[in-house]
Chain A
Amino acid sequence: MDAFGMGLVAAMGALATVAGASEDIDSDIGSQSNPNSQVQLAAQVGNPHRIYNKAIAGEPPSNALWCTTAAIMAYVLIEGYHMPLLFAAAAGASLAALFDGVMSVSAYLGRNASQARFNQWIYLDIIRYTTPSIMAHVWITSFCIVLIAIMQVYILTPHHPFPIPVIALVWGLTVGAIGSSVGDIHYGGEREFQWRLFGQGLNTMLSGQIVRKAEAGLRNSIDNAWFCAKFGGPATGMGFGLTVFLDNWRTTVFDPITQAGAAIAMGVFFVIVMNLYNFYCEVSARRKYGPYPGYKGDIAA
């Protein structure tokens, strides 16, 4: 263990936290991934809306695409043209953001045009001021992930044997999977349905009945990002940050060659702690919200 390596792992954890948060907010602004099923459905059940609609792909494949695009450009600039690492990462992220902008606009136009029969309009002002926000968040995500990959390959010892694009592909898939599993719940379960009864899951009968009015005026995707940045985004960042930090911390503190057993045992310890913490969350939620009042079965709570 050396102090430099520990500092690098801490920096990677911090970058991962930022990447996770911006990834989730990007998916909330663009309304990507699982909760977008409700946005799609809303117009069909008679609720046309002003929410952006860019289901380009599931979050993991699309983020893997942005991060790999950024990483390939960074890799070419570093290996072929000997550019500085930070500049290469920034240039790669800009390319990824441009790709994302093109696909977001075509997804919004295509999806909403196909719903014209349900009175769903294409709002040009939404495209104009929402797309740059989406691109900015994709820039942050891919920049952070390319930097993590660069650190793993060029700086942290032992150097990772995979090239930058492969590492960026894997981290992109992972950050997308975490954003889709964690942040989406805050957007889909909470923000889209704020008038359901608190303390229970969403009744299937309410599908498509998303909230369309904002704190002022009609709700758009920027309002959703404002709300989800308070908890869903940071929680996603925490999930991805924990993954990157804990996984690299154990192989930095313990030498993977001579102390492989200790590194593995430390990982198992983290896993046990997280299992116990989830049990605490379960007990606490059951105590706070209690059984459903209208339950008629014969199983005691």
Chain B
Amino acid sequence: MNFDANTIIYLLEIIVGGLLVGIGVHFVPVGGAPAAMAQATGIGTGTVQLAAGSGLTGLLSAGLMMHAMSLSPTFAQDGYSIWPILLTGAVGAMIMMDATMLTGSWIYAYAVGAPFASAKVNYDPITMFSQPPYVAPGTVGQGIPTVCFVSGTIGAAMGGLGGALIYFPLVLINGNPAMSAIFAIGIFMVDAVLASWNIQGTIEGFHDPKFKKWPKAFKACLISTAILAVVAVLITPLVGGV
């Protein structure tokens, strides 16, 4: 490929995608190992793992949509249209995240037997339900209250959108979906890990005081994704695209 105005646009798309992933991770309510024992609010797993699971499910949907577009009889005139690809990535990620949180809620509600409560706020900002009376002693909340669920849905949407926005220009550059997907997964992981360090592994969602730290992750993701974007754009001419 040649360097031209399009290359700058591709670089920008990859960087914006990386930033969306980095900020999206801040929305996902993860409580880490304590949440798996109903000692903390949120989903009982690691930030990066959950964000990757949802974002990459979105990437699969986005890859399929992009491929389907190229099969269209009018593809030669129309070319790719970016919005359906991005939106289907976001929706795929949201479906995965919501299915996970919903089935997790069944276990919290009907097996462990814990009312959902957040220890970070007195009232749920969406339902206005009181929280402290339901927080059991020795815990920092349990389950996934509505505000966390909505926040997780937003985070998944941003992660899926970001993953698709990284994948889209890579396919245009190298024309190889498999290589682009692996590169997109790599960039996704870097940004998710940076954001995870910023929130020290656990967060409840946009109502958590830790959420205010997002500008730090923004700066870190901007620098790392910019470097990775340059590598991603350069690697095709170096190894030869398909």
Give chain A's interface residues, CB within 8 Å of chain B.
Answer: 33-35, 37-38, 58-61, 158-163, 166-167, 169-171, 173-174, 176-178, 180-190, 192-193, 198-207, 231-232, 235-236, 238-240, 242-243, 246-247, 250-251, 256-257, 260-261, 263-264, 267-268, 270-271, 274-275, 277-279, 281-282, 284-286, 288-292, 294-295, 297, 299-301
Listed in ascending order, the chain B residues whose CB lies under 8 Å from chain A are 32-39, 43-46, 49-50, 52-54, 56-57, 59-61, 63-69, 71-72, 84, 87-88, 91-92, 94-96, 98-116, 122-123, 127, 129-139, 141-146, 149-150, 153, 177-178, 181-182, 185
Q: Note all chain B residues with C-beta closer than 8 A to A261.
A: 84
C-alpha spacing A271/B134, complex, angstroms? 27
Nearest residue (CB) in B for A235 is B103
17 A–B contacts, CB within 8 A, in A order: A174-B54, A178-B96, A182-B100, A186-B111, A193-B37, A202-B39, A204-B139, A231-B107, A251-B65, A267-B92, A270-B98, A274-B101, A282-B116, A282-B127, A285-B108, A289-B115, A292-B135
Q: A35 contacts which chain B residues (CB < 8 A)?
A: 33, 36-37
Chain A residues positioned under 8 Å from B185 (CB to CB)? 169-170
- In the complex, the number of residue pairs spanning A and B with C-beta atoms less than 8 Å apart equals 324
Question: Hey, which chain A residues are within 8 Å of B116, CB to CB?
Answer: 281-282, 285-286
Interface SS of chain B: helix
The 9 nearest A-B residue pairs measured at CB: A177-B53, A203-B138, A267-B91, A200-B136, A291-B133, A201-B142, A34-B36, A239-B103, A201-B38
The answer on a CB contact under 8 Å between B50 and A160 is no
Q: A173 CA to B127 CA in the complex, in Å?
A: 33
Pick the contact of A285 from B50, B57, B115, B133 — CB < 8 Å? Answer: B115
| Docked pose: A180 CA to B31 CA in angstroms | 12
Q: A34-B36, A170-B57, A185-B36 are in contact. Are A178 and B100 (CB under 8 A)?
A: yes
> In the complex, A176→B56 CA distance in Å?
13
Check if A59 sits within 8 Å of B49, measured CB to CB.
Answer: yes
Is the CB–CB distance between A205 and B114 below 8 Å? no
Known contacts A243-B57, A286-B115: does B141 contact A184 (CB below 8 Å)? no
How many Å from the CB of A290 to the closest CB on chain B?
7
A165–B175 CA distance with the chains assembled, in angstroms: 18
Residues A37 and B44 in contact, CB atoms below 8 Å apart: no
Contact check, B114 vs A177: say whether CB atoms are below 8 A apart. no
Checking A59, A200, A277, A284 against B102 with a beta-carbon cut-off of 8 angstroms, the contacting residue is: A277
Complex-state Cα separation, A192 to B145, whole angstroms: 24
Please determine whether B132 and A278 come into contact, CB atoms closer than 8 angstroms: no
- Asked if A185 and B132 make an inter-chain contact with CB atoms under 8 angstroms apart, the answer reads no
Contact (Cβ within 8 A) B102 A247 = no
- The answer to whether A37 touches B33, judged by C-beta atoms less than 8 angstroms apart, is yes
B133 close to A246 (CB less than 8 A): no
Residues of B within 8 A of A204 (CB): 34, 39, 138-139
The verdict on A279 contacting B127 (CB below 8 Å), with A162-B181, A292-B136 known, is yes
> In the complex, what distance in Å separates the CA atom of A268 from the CA atom of B160?
13
Q: Are B100 and A239 in contact (CB under 8 A)?
A: yes
Query: Known contacts A238-B103, A282-B105, A292-B133; is A203 also within 8 Å of B139 by CB?
Result: yes
Check if B133 sits within 8 Å of A301, measured CB to CB: yes
The CA of A187 and the CA of B98, in the complex, are separated in Å by 21
B139 touches A202 (CB 8 A): yes
Residues of B within 8 A of A232 (CB): 107, 111
In the complex, the answer to whether B106 meets A199 with C-beta atoms within 8 Å is: no
Q: How far is the CA of A187 from the CA of B37 in the complex (A)?
A: 8
In the docked arrangement, what's the CA distance between A231 and B50, Å? 21
Smallest beta-carbon distance A234→chain B, Å: 9
In the bound complex, CA of A160 to CA of B65 (Å): 9
What chain A residues lie within 8 Å of B102 (beta carbons)? 239, 242, 274, 277-278, 281
Contacts of A37 in B (CB 8 A): 33
State in angstroms the CA–CA spacing of A203 and B37 once bound together.
9
Q: Which residue of B lies closest to A239 (CB)?
A: B103
> Is A162 touching B60 in the complex (CB atoms < 8 A)?
yes
> Which residues of chain B come closer than 8 Å to A290, judged between CB atoms?
115
A203 and B142 alpha carbons, distance in the complex (Å): 11
Minimal beta-carbon separation of A168 from chain B (angstroms)? 11
CB of B32 within 8 A of CB of A34, answer: yes
Q: How far is the CB of A62 from chain B (nearest CB, A)?
A: 11
Indicate if the CB atoms of A301 and B178 lie closer than 8 Å.
no
Question: In the complex, are the beta carbons of B143 and A182 less than 8 A apart?
Answer: no
Chain A residue at minimal CB-CB distance from B179: A166
CB distance from B93 to the nearest CB of A (A): 9
Chain A, residue nearest B157 (CB): A271
A285-B72 contact in complex given A178-B53, A242-B99, A300-B130, C-beta closer than 8 Å: no
Contact partner of A185 (CB less than 8 A), chosen from B107, B134, B178, B182, is B107
State A171–B44 Cα separation when bound (angstroms). Answer: 19
Q: Which of B132, B133, B141 has the most CB of A within 10 A?
A: B133
Tell me, in angstroms, the Cα distance from A24 to B129 when the chains sit together.
33
Complex alpha-carbon distance, A275 and B123, angstroms: 19
